[in-house]
Amino acid sequence: MTTLADTWGINEAQFWLRGVHPDQPVQHDPDAGLWNVYGYPEIVQALSDHSTFSSNTQRLIPDLGRQFSSEGNLVQMDPPDHNKLRKLVSHAFTPKVVADLEPRIAGLTNELLDAVSDRTELVADLAYPLPVIVIAELLGVPSSDRGLFKKWVDAMFNSTNKVTLKARSKEQEEYFARAMEQVQELSDYLISHAQERREQPREDLLTKLVEAEVDGVRLTDGEVANFAMVLLIAGHITTTMLLGNTVLCLDAHPEQLAKVRADRSLVPKAIEESLRFFSPFAAVSRATWKDTELGGQIIPADQVVLMWVAAANRDPREFENPDVFDVTRDPNPQIAFGRGIHFCLGAPLARLEGRVALNILLDRFPDLRTDPAAPPEFMPAPTMTGVNKLPLLL
């Protein structure tokens, strides 16, 4: 059987691995005007210290801040505001709420796969629609609008531009303006749904958000919309990548696929290993409040710092044989969901979707494999690692 590893260098997608030297876990990039952190212990240290490494990076990217308010945007918030809002939304993601979704996720996966015949483009047929329908149903926005979400989200991430804080080229400016337009459209869409819920409450997360109070004060429509936007964006493209990447990694390592087929109790471990080996959200950003020492370097105050969790997940100081994809890896302290107070709120949901979908794919398609004539396509954004298109033969 021809596998992807024979036809295409799987590690080529991991462009951020180039230029990463284990002996230089913290590097300044003067051209881009920011810092890169690649080392596992250094990232764990920084993500555990929110009083030095703030999540509010928008204050250092003024044009972004001007066009897009960070109010209600959980990912951009620091304590104490972050704790209050996080507590509020955590109720929507309790282990019970997530576990109760399993039959719906299985039903949707089967329904989506019923529509394919002897071949599939996995992203369009399953990996994109499944998580977006689940998160839209949780929020209470029509999942039939998913074509719109895709248009908005694609425009935000469909750029090969290197992350930079320095003067941008005309092309970068145009991309940025287009992305901001899409953010605005998505925000308007969510605001109109929030307004509707104030008048006509329903059993959904949007209603819970408009009715919730932080310190006795209700969230504004703008805050509700920003909050919902984080869930909608974070809640689907990453999980889309997780599903595609897991199938891709297993295909590229047939002996590992055989192990999982032979022992399904390995499915959760295969998902963890996929998250480590091909971390969907390759980097998260922070902004320093003060001068600080990290990995032997002094990072001054008011600097943007990119934490490359995808590179840390290959740090040989933490992982034995880090470039080997091993579905039996134990322990596997991968940090693809981040660390510290901003640890991914949706991690249990993403893991559940990954486990259910992979099991059903393995059940239904004993000969599932990549199509040697149609190589996969990858997300162009440098801080994302994931397939955009994954043609498969069934």
* Binding residues for ligand HEM (CB under 6 A): 55, 74-75, 86, 135, 230-231, 234-235, 238-239, 242, 280-281, 284, 336-338, 342, 344-346, 349-350
CA 354, chain centre distance (Å): 13
Residue nearest to ligand HEM (CB): 346
Rounded to an integer, what distance in angstroms lies between the CA atom of residue 154 and that of residue 131?
15
CB of 40 to ligand HEM, least distance (A): 14
Which of 296, 380 has the CB closer to ligand HEM? 380
| Distance in Å, CB of 336 to ligand HEM, minimum | 5
Nearer to ligand HEM, 292 or 369 (CB): 292
Whichever of 287 and 369 has its CB closer to ligand HEM, that residue is 287
CB 283 to ligand HEM: min, Å: 9
Closest by alpha carbon to 116, among 381, 364, 310?
364
Q: What is the DSSP string of 96-110?
A: HHHHHTHHHHHHHHH
DSSP code for 123: I
Q: How far is the CB of 374 from ligand HEM (least distance, A)?
A: 25
Amino acid, single-letter form, for residue 312: A
Please list the helix, strand and coil fractions of the chain in percent, rounded to the nearest 5, in that order.
Answer: 55, 10, 35
Cα separation, 21 vs 10, in Å, equals 20
DSSP-based three-state secondary structure for 367: coil
Q: Which is nearer to ligand HEM, 112 or 310 (CB)?
A: 310
Give the residue with the Cβ less far from ligand HEM, 352 or 392: 352
Residue 169 C-beta: closest distance to ligand HEM, Å: 27
Place of tokens 């696929």: 257
What span, in angstroms and rounded, lies between the C-alpha atoms of 356 and 358? 6
102: Cα within 13 Å, side-chain hemisphere: 11
Comparison of 72 and 346: residue with beta carbon closer to ligand HEM: 346
Quote the least distance from Cβ 135 to ligand HEM, whole Å.
5
